[in-house]
Amino acid sequence: MEKIDIDDFLKLKRKDRNKILCEFSENLCKEICKLKNIEYDENIFYTAKEIYYNSIYFSDFESYCRDVSYIVSEDVKRVKKYELKNVISSYNGYINKIKKYKQFENKIQKEGFSNLEKKYKENLRNLFIKMLDFKKRKYDKNGALLDLIEEIELCYYDFDYIWSPLYQLLYNKCIYKDTIRDEFWVINADDVEYLDILNRTYEYFSEDEKIYKDYEPYYEEITLEENQTLEDIYNAEIEKIKNLFIEMLKYKNIEFKEDDYYSLKNQVFKNYEKFRDSLIHYESIVEHDVHGTYIDMITEIRNEYKFLEENYRK
């Protein structure tokens, strides 16, 4: 399979462009199915859904197919040049991805899965030790790799989009895809996906240490005391903001009969109209986000506490 030259493609008439795009995309889909042992459904869009639910490496192919569908649709009177460039760029990106996938397959056959896994895990261990030492964390350097990731999460949570799938892969060689359609969907990783993600994670942070040493963090570092859990910290933060709600209501001489967290929060919501947008956002993270972690919630409570405490007297 070859890449499409964007400049040559743009010179074609729309009918010819659509024919090439449909034909090449179908062949691309078949090639992905061949690599991932997925049955081609004779319909690229139905098959793209199967790829979405059964591949980590090519999971965004369904999105590419939607872009192709839009471009070739007769209902679309005029396709903009940048839209054509974007879809061809995506196509060429998949050609590169397939090439790399095959190269990694060959690498596994030559060097052996177990040897590569051992090497990549050791690389990650050394990386995590460097990252934790940089933060001057107290931890067990001889701990399991999963334990090191849990410690990493506490002080580098801004990179959770990397740590969470990595943890899942190391724990059970799968990832849990968070989708609007089904909340969490388990996707088992094949050998290429598993080893490549381990290796790319290591290379991402080791090739440029500034990525983890010099960035503007959104999340505060969290240090757990002996036998303390994230749930303990979360409960303490809830109690703290609950007391602030009491303070805010007393400031306005508002009487309240019930002093549980939710009743107090609702009273604040009713009597501090200027904070409604902020409190709605707060609720969406702390109370309604089913995928939110304790660190997400702790951070949101602390941010809301600081905001309310600094502004409610104004």
The pLDDT tens digits of the residues spanning 19-78 come to: 999 999 999 999 999 999 999 988 898 999 999 989 999 989 999 999 999 999 989 889
> Can you tell me the distance from the alpha carbon of 5 to that of 23, in angstroms, rounded to the nearest whole number?
15
Tens-place pLDDT, residues 181-214 = 556 788 999 999 999 999 999 999 999 999 999 9
pTM of the model: 0.87
Concatenated DSSP letters of 221-251: P--PPTT--HHHHHHHHHHHHHHHHHHHHHH
Q: In this structure, which amino acid lies at residue 18?
A: N
Q: What does the pLDDT read at residue 41? A: 84
DSSP letter at 312?
Answer: T
Concatenated DSSP letters of 159-227: GHHHHHHHHHHHHHSEEEEEETTTEEEEEE--HHHHHHHHHHHHHHHHS-THHHHS---SSPP--PPTT
